[in-house]
Amino acid sequence: MTHIRPFRSGDEPALADICLKTADAGTDATGIFTDDDLWAEVFVLPYAARHPDLAFVVETDDERVAGYIVGTDDTRAFEDWFATQWWPQWAARWPRPGEGEATRQGGTLIYAYGRRAGAEPYGDTYPAHLHIDLLPELQGQGWGRRLIDTLSEALRARGVTGLHLATGTENTGAIAFYTRIGFAPLASHPGVQAFGRTL
């Protein structure tokens, strides 16, 4: 039976694959970057590495991981850790883009190199944040809501009072979903819509 379970070591390849297959506004991003691995090293694997106890997966009845949620209970601490400990290991593989490298991969690299505590204001009111992805076979069946409820319960147990996330403005399905489950839109950068929810 398909079910939610805690992340465990060995799930990383499945998380990376799901991230890639949903990274283009919910659709497959294979080939958009010159190196497909970049997506996961920015958006999912650092969370599983730092907070494995705040990572949960949806496992199908044939024992495949087909969805996940990852997060942090302290955005400021996480972003400092990302900048000083996680991202430097990838500097040789993915150097900082030069001026005028206006590619989609370049934009993601600029974001990765710019991550630091306080770079985004949302963590002041909503200290936790999350990333969630489901393969199409699980979408529209309530698994997204259940994953967010599972993570929210774990955060409340730690005394965390607020949770935020962000998605691209072109991802209209995600925007509708987050609004429907009680996240409020926050003032955001062009091309991005952030949401917050009190826990």
Question: What is the number of other CB atoms lying within 10 angstroms of the CB of residue 131?
Answer: 20
Name the phi and psi angles at 70, rounded to 5. -135, 160
Residue 57 has pLDDT above 70, yes or no: yes
CA distance 81 to 12: 19
The mean pLDDT value for 132-157 works out to: 97
Side chain identity at residue 78, one-letter code: F
Tokens of residue 38, six digits: 């970049």
Architecture of the CATH domain 3-198: 3-Layer(aba) Sandwich (3.40)
Name the phi and psi angles at 57, rounded to 5. -125, 160
CA distance 141 to 153: 20
Q: What is the pTM of this model?
A: 0.95
What residues does each domain of the chain span? 3-198
CA 149 to chain centre: 16
Residue 58 has pLDDT above 90, yes or no: yes
Q: What is the mean pLDDT of the chain?
A: 95
Q: What pLDDT is stored for residue 34 in this prediction?
A: 95
Q: What pLDDT is stored for residue 120 in this prediction?
A: 81
CA distance 93 to 1: 40
CA distance 12 to 52: 11
Backbone conformation region of residue 95, classed left if phi is above 0, alpha if psi is from -120 to 50, else beta: beta
Distances (CA, A) of 197 to 120, 133, 179, 188, 194: 16, 18, 10, 15, 11
Confidence of residue 129 (pLDDT cuts 50, 70, 90): very high
- For residues 1 and 62, the answer to whether their CB atoms sit within 8 Å is no
- For residues 57 and 108, the answer to whether their CB atoms sit within 8 Å is no
CA distance 97 to 101: 6
